[in-house]
Structure 1
């Protein structure tokens, strides 16, 4: 398993999970289940973002 931290010039930086990474992950998983294209699902997820703007992702 890969180490989640990268050592660069004696500094440790953590990889950060972004909202876009989560959207891509959800879209690709859904695409596998539904046999749709990932880009189309991503577009739908981003479009409906305003509907649930008051909710935040648990990162």
Structure 2
């Protein structure tokens, strides 16, 4: 039988900076743009129109 993986605590959430870097590097690979440039664009974005609405958690 399979044993359950016993974790004492869930994995920590990635920081906003780590998420920006991941999105920027993925986009850079697809578009050929600079990772640094894309990361700065993501960081300098204005608040979105529906920022007050939260996504449903799974």
TM-score interval, normalised by the smaller of the two chains: 0.5 to 0.7
In structure 2, runs of 5+ residues without a counterpart are 1-8
Alignment coverage as a number of residue pairs: 48
Partner of 1:32: 29
Structure with the bigger percentage of strand: 1
In structure 1, runs of 5+ residues without a counterpart are 1-11
Partner of 2:6: none
CA RMSD of aligned residues (A): 2.7
Alignment TM-score, normalising by the size of structure 2? 0.60
